[in-house]
Amino acid sequence: MEIKIRQELEEDYEKVYQVVKSAFDKAEHTNGDEQNLVNRLRNSHTFVPQLSLVAERNGEIVGHILFTKAKVSGTTQLVLAPLSVIPALQSCGIGGKLIAEGHRIARELGYEFSVLFGHAHYYPRFGYVSASLFGIQTDIEVPDENFMAINLQGKDTKLNGMLQVADEFGN
């Protein structure tokens, strides 16, 4: 299956909305607002256009990933949220391709960390480990195994601070 990963364009917004909505429609952990979160984040000061990516198959958008800026100990890092693939193509490697390309671009842009709240059995295959290993903390009640980070530059840096995400996340 040939998948093309590219930067999201403004004309993709409605299709991305539908992809995100369908991806989370029957998800185990969802608040049902992920598609609206994407819209809010696009309009925030944390939005990084180069890190809003879509996956296309035969010219159709079938997946989306978004990384936005966050603060930890006065440094600017990234938060991955959300990652979406249409239900019919989940478990086909599209999410992994979106993550890999997002990480590549983030490294080129000079970002050091990507942090996320996610499935403990999915994200570690892409290098994510417990954020606490880097000294990253959160005031959101979540099991340690679901609060993860990766050092995109391959270093063993400790940030030792509280994650501050965009207000648009509604914390």
In degrees and rounded to multiples of 5, residue 139 shows phi and psi of: -95, 5
pLDDT at 34: 93
Query: 24 in helix, strand or coil?
Result: helix
Q: What is the pLDDT of residues 15-32, one digit of tens each?
A: 999 999 999 987 767 677
- What are the distances in angstroms from CA 7 to CA 20, 74, 89, 105, 161? 16, 28, 20, 10, 31
What pTM value is reported for the model?
0.95
pLDDT at 26: 76
Task: Look at 32-36, 136-140, 144-148 and tell me which has the smallest mean pLDDT.
Answer: 32-36
Q: Is the pLDDT of residue 35 over 80?
A: yes
Question: Which residue's entry shows tokens 């340690």?
Answer: 144
